[in-house]
Amino acid sequence: MELTHLDENDKPKMVDVSNKDNTTRVATASGEIVVTKEAYEAVVNQKTKKGPVLQTAVISAIMGAKKTSELIPMCHPLMLTSIKTDIQEIPSLPGFRLFVTAKLTGKTGVEMEALTGVSIGLLTIYDMLKAIDKSMVIQNIQLESKTGGKSGDFRRKKS
């Protein structure tokens, strides 16, 4: 398999997408953060000193998705048309699962934007709870689905 981010001299390059067709592209990613019961209760009962944790995580997930090309060198700056988030409270972990869906009509996919949004959103939860719980674990950051583009559609199989 040829690596598209290397030129003929094995130097890094950004892929040229100028000849690709504009298509609607959507990607959803997810990830989890496992916290102590004490930290979980503080979040769901809105008893944290730093403010509304989940709402702040949503805002940072959106900001992270929008800034992906500034953080990952070979990502193209994109005009995203939509970023949606969802956070599930999971008492059995205890913790939270964050979903980010990024969408655009363009020449390149939005998988990295969705994955970056999840990562930044979960890191925000970590930052806001670290005074309560230093043992938190961020895990299972993964692409759930993508549509559009030459490589076709992908949907993660449920295990």
Of all helices (H) and strands (E), which one includes residue 137? strand 137-147
How many C-beta atoms surround the C-beta of residue 110 within 10 A? 31
Distance in angstroms (rounded) separating the CA atoms of residues 127 and 57? 10
* Backbone angles phi and psi of 122, in degrees to 5: -70, -40
127 catalytically annotated: yes
2: confidence class by pLDDT, cuts 50, 70, 90: low
For 26-30, 55-59, 71-75, 136-140, which range has the lowest pLDDT when averaged over its residues?
Answer: 71-75
pLDDT, tens only, 88-119: 999 999 999 999 999 999 999 999 999 999 99
pLDDT, tens only, 4-59: 777 778 788 788 888 888 999 999 999 999 999 999 999 999 999 889 999 999 99
Question: What CATH architecture does domain 36-148 belong to?
Answer: 2-Layer Sandwich (3.30)
Q: Find the distance separating the first CA and the last CA of the chain, reported in whole Å.
A: 28
Taking each helix axis from N to C end, the angle separating 111-129 and 53-66, rounded to the nearest 10 degrees, works out to 150
Catalytic pick among 86, 127, 133, 153: 127
Q: pTM of whole model > 0.85?
A: yes
pLDDT, tens only, 5-16: 777 787 887 888
**What residues pair up with 92 in beta bridges, in sequence order?**
none
User: How much is the pLDDT for 13?
Assistant: 79
